[in-house]
Amino acid sequence: MKLIEHARNLAYNPGVTPKQGGLPGLDVLKNVMGSLNLFGIIAAVGALVISVAIWAWGHHSGGHQAEANGKKGTAIAAGCALLMGAANGIVAFCSAMGTQVH
């Protein structure tokens, strides 16, 4: 009996879909998110420059730990920039895939 109730609850469709302009302040929120994304990308550029400098300094000075940390920082900063630049596409893709679930 509980299994049937559980299946019935899973099949329930609340009928909620994203709606453009449903709440006031949507344009402000988009501007704030865009500005935060820009600041994040600028911070990733700074982190990338610093990490590459540490990588080069560690390589030329024989500091293996500094070289390894510079490599890690470079990969992390590049990955963060990639994800922040692709944020709209990732969210749009996942949202579109979510609409396919029935």
Higher local confidence (pLDDT), 64 or 10: 64
Residue 54 lies in a domain: yes
Number of structural domains the chain divides into = 1
Indicate whether this model's pTM tops 0.75: no
Residue 80 lies in a domain: yes
What token pair was written down for 11? 């099949």
Query: How far, CA to CA in Å, does 29 sit from each of 17, 51, 100?
Result: 19, 32, 27
Residue 2 lies in a domain: no
Please give the average per-residue pLDDT across 48-57, as a whole number.
97
| Percent of the chain at pLDDT exceeding 70 | 88
